[in-house]
Structure 1
Amino acid sequence: MATMTVTPKNKPKKVALKGMMENVMEQFNSASDQIELHPNIRKILAITNNEIVVNFPVKMDDGTVEIFTGYRVQHNNALGPYKGGLRYHPTVDIDAARALAMWMTWKTSLAGLPYGGGKGGIKLDPSKYSQAELERITRRFTFALADNIGPEHDIPAPDVNTNSQTMAWMADTYMSTRPPAERTANQHVVTGKPEGSGGLEGRDRATGYGVFLNIKFWAEKKNESLKGKKFIVQGFGNVGYWASHFLEKEGAKLVAVQDASGSIRNANGLKVADVFNYAQINDGRILGFPEAFDLDDENFFSTECDICIPAALGNQITVENAPNIKAQLIAEGANGPTNVDGEKILLDRGITIIPDILCNSGGVIASYFEWLQNRNGEIWNLDDVMTKLDKKMKHSFDRVCAFAKAESTDLRTAAFCLAIQRIEKAYIQRGIFP
Structure 2
Amino acid sequence: MITKEEKQEKTQKPKQGMLDNVMRQFNNASDKIGLDPSIRKILGITNNELVVHFPVKMDNGSVEVFTGYRVQHNNALGPYKGGLRYHPTVDLDAARALAMWMTWKTSLAGLPLGGAKGGIQIDPSRYSTGELERITRRFTYALGDNIGPELDIPAPDVNTNAQTMAWILDTYMSTKSPNERSTNLHVVTGKPVGAGGSEGRDRATGYGVYLSVKFWAEHNNIDLQGRKFIVQGFGNVGYWASLFLEMEGAVLTAVQDASGSIFNPDGIVVDELSEYMAQHDHKIAGFPGADRINNDEFFALDCDICIPAALGNQITEKNAGDIKALVIAEGANGPTDVQAEKMLLDRGVAIIPDILCNSGGVIGSYFEWLQNRNGEIWQLEEVMEKLRKKLRESFTRVMKVTEDREVDMRTAAFIIAMERLEQAYRQRGIFP
| 1:19 aligned residue | 17
Counterpart residue identity of residue 116, structure 1: G
Whether contact under 8 Å (1:139, 1:170) holds in the other structure is yes
How far residue 297 of structure 1 moved from its aligned partner, in angstroms, is: 0.4
SS in 1 for 2:307: strand
Whether contact under 8 Å (1:20, 1:99) holds in the other structure is yes
SS in 2 for 1:269: coil
| 1:163 aligned residue | 161
CA offset digits 1:32-66 (Å, max 9, x no partner): 00000000000000000000000000000000000
Aligned counterpart for 2:230 among listed residues 218, 232, 235: 232
Q: Quick one: distance in 2 between partners of 1:139 and 1:12?
A: 47
Q: Quick one: distance in 2 between partners of 1:200 and 1:17?
A: 40
Q: Quick one: distance in 2 between partners of 1:354 and 1:84?
A: 20
| 2:384 aligned residue | 386
Name the % identity.
71
Aligned counterpart for 1:59 among listed residues 45, 50, 57: 57
Q: Quick one: distance in 1 between partners of 2:222 and 2:160?
A: 36
How far residue 111 of structure 1 moved from its aligned partner, in angstroms, is: 0.2
| 1:181 aligned residue | 179
CA offset digits 1:384-420 (Å, max 9, x no partner): 0000000000000000000000000000000000000
Counterpart residue identity of residue 223, structure 1: N
| 2:38 aligned residue | 40
Whether contact under 8 Å (1:6, 1:13) holds in the other structure is no
Q: Quick one: distance in 2 between partners of 1:249 and 1:173?
A: 40
| 1:77 aligned residue | 75
Report the TM-score when normalising by structure 2: 0.98
Whether contact under 8 Å (1:73, 1:97) holds in the other structure is yes
SS in 1 for 2:183: helix
Aligned counterpart for 1:342 among listed residues 335, 340, 346: 340
SS in 1 for 2:171: helix
Flag the 1:298–1:192 CA change in 2: closer, same or farther, 3 A. same
CA offset digits 1:67-104 (Å, max 9, x no partner): 00000000000000000000000000000000000000
| 1:274 aligned residue | 272
| 2:209 aligned residue | 211
Q: Quick one: distance in 2 between partners of 1:265 and 1:182?
A: 52
Aligned counterpart for 1:262 among listed residues 243, 260, 263: 260
| 1:375 aligned residue | 373
Q: Quick one: distance in 2 between partners of 1:113 and 1:92?
A: 26
CA offset digits 1:199-223 (Å, max 9, x no partner): 0001000000000000000111112
**Runs of 4+, deviation exceeding 2 Å:** 10-16
| 1:290 aligned residue | 288
How far residue 225 of structure 1 moved from its aligned partner, in angstroms, is: 1.2
Whether contact under 8 Å (1:211, 1:362) holds in the other structure is yes
Whether contact under 8 Å (1:301, 1:321) holds in the other structure is yes
Aligned counterpart for 2:85 among listed residues 73, 84, 87: 87
Whether contact under 8 Å (1:193, 1:199) holds in the other structure is yes
Whether contact under 8 Å (1:6, 1:12) holds in the other structure is no
How far residue 431 of structure 1 moved from its aligned partner, in angstroms, is: 0.1
Q: How many residues are aligned here? A: 428
Counterpart residue identity of residue 249, structure 2: G
Report the TM-score when normalising by structure 1: 0.97
Counterpart residue identity of residue 64, structure 1: S
Q: Quick one: distance in 2 between partners of 1:6 and 1:251?
A: 46
Unpaired runs of 5+ residues, structure 1, are none
How far residue 16 of structure 1 moved from its aligned partner, in angstroms, is: 3.0
Whether contact under 8 Å (1:76, 1:117) holds in the other structure is yes
Flag the 1:160–1:12 CA change in 2: closer, same or farther, 3 A. farther
Whether contact under 8 Å (1:53, 1:71) holds in the other structure is yes
Flag the 1:223–1:282 CA change in 2: closer, same or farther, 3 A. same
Q: Quick one: distance in 1 between partners of 2:274 and 2:180?
A: 41
CA offset digits 1:254-290 (Å, max 9, x no partner): 0000000000000010000111111110001101111
SS in 1 for 2:264: strand
The answer to whether 1:311 aligns with 2:314 is no
| 2:426 aligned residue | 428
| 1:107 aligned residue | 105
Flag the 1:34–1:166 CA change in 2: closer, same or farther, 3 A. same
SS in 1 for 2:61: coil
Q: Quick one: distance in 2 between partners of 1:346 and 1:101?
A: 26
CA RMSD of aligned residues (A): 1.4
Q: Quick one: distance in 2 between partners of 1:300 and 1:12?
A: 27
How far residue 17 of structure 1 moved from its aligned partner, in angstroms, is: 1.9
The answer to whether 1:29 aligns with 2:41 is no
| 1:96 aligned residue | 94
How far residue 224 of structure 1 moved from its aligned partner, in angstroms, is: 1.8
Q: Quick one: distance in 1 between partners of 2:14 and 2:310?
A: 21
Unpaired runs of 5+ residues, structure 2, are none
Flag the 1:6–1:39 CA change in 2: closer, same or farther, 3 A. farther
